[in-house]
Amino acid sequence: MSRCQASILFPSRKEIIHPLHLRLMSSIINRRDWLKSGLLASAGLTFGQSAPSYASQTSQLGIINVYAEREMELAKEAMLAAAPQIKARLSSNENPWGPSASAIKAITETAPKAFLYAGAITMELRKTIADMHGVAPDQVLLGAGSSELLMASLMMAATKGKVMMAETCYISGRDARDESAKMPTEKVALTKDYQYDLDAMATRVGSDTAMIYVCNPNNPTGVMLPSAKLKSFCDAVSPKSTVLVDEAYIDYAPNPATDSMVDCIKKGQNVLILRTLSKLHGFAGLRIGYALGQPEILKELRKYCSGGFTVSATSAAAAVASFKDKAFQEMVIKNTAESKKFLYETLKSMDYTYLPSDANFVLFPIKIKGQMLVQKMMAEGVSVRSWAFDQQNWCRVSIGTMDEMKAFKEAFTKSVS
- 3-class secondary-structure state, position 135: coil
Strands 88-89, 382-383: pairing is parallel
Closest CA to 282 of 89, 404, 99, 88: 99
Q: Are residues 310 and 371 in the same domain?
A: no
Give yes or no: residues 48 and 164 share one domain. Answer: no
Distance separating alpha carbons of residues 219 and 392, to the nearest angstrom = 16
113 with 124, same domain? yes
Q: What does the pLDDT read at residue 11?
A: 38
Kindly state whether residues 411 and 394 are assigned to the same domain.
Answer: yes
Q: Are residues 17 and 110 in the same domain?
A: no
Q: Domain count of the chain?
A: 3
Rg (CA), the chain: 21
Q: Are strands 185-188 and 162-166 parallel, antiparallel or unpaired?
A: parallel
Q: What is the pLDDT of residues 32-52, one digit of tens each?
A: 343 433 343 333 333 333 333
CATH number of the domain that residue 73 is part of? 3.90.1150.10
* φ/ψ of residue 248, rounded to 5: -60, -30
Cβ atoms of 385 and 354 within 8 Å: the answer is no
Backbone angles phi, psi at 325, to 5 degrees: -85, 75
pLDDT digits (tens, 9 = 90+) for 384-403: 999 999 999 999 999 999 99
Q: Are residues 88 and 183 in the same domain?
A: no
Backbone phi, psi, residue 204, to 5°: -95, 0
What is the residue-level pLDDT of the chain in tens, covering all 417 positions?
444 444 333 333 333 333 333 333 333 333 334 343 334 333 333 333 333 333 443 333 333 344 545 555 666 655 555 555 789 999 999 999 999 999 999 999 999 999 999 989 999 999 999 999 999 999 999 999 999 999 999 999 999 999 999 999 998 865 433 344 467 899 999 999 999 999 999 999 999 999 999 999 999 999 999 999 999 999 999 999 999 999 999 999 999 999 999 999 999 999 999 999 999 999 999 999 999 999 999 999 999 999 999 999 999 999 999 999 999 999 999 999 999 999 999 999 999 999 999 999 999 999 999 999 999 999 999 999 999 999 999 999 999 999 999 999 999 999 999
Instruction: Tell me, yes or no, whether 320 and 187 share the same domain.
Output: yes
> Please, are residues 288 and 144 in contact by the beta-carbon 8 Å criterion?
yes
Indicate the residue among 324, 348, 368 that finishes a domain.
324
In contact, 127 and 137? CB cutoff 8 Å: yes
Same domain, 204 and 319: yes
10 Å Cβ neighbour count for 24? Answer: 21
Domain end, chosen from 300, 324, 348, is at 324
Residue 308 and residue 249 share a domain:
yes
257 and 142 assigned to the same domain: yes
Q: Which domain holds residue 305?
A: 101-324
Q: Which of 324, 353, 371 is where one domain is finished? A: 324
* Residue 282 and residue 332 in one domain: no
Strand 392-398: give its sheet, edge to edge.
361-365, 392-398, 385-389
> How many other CB atoms are found less than 10 A from the CB of residue 268?
9
Is residue 368 located within the same domain as residue 244?
A: no
Q: How far apart are CA 410 and CA 417, in angstroms?
A: 11
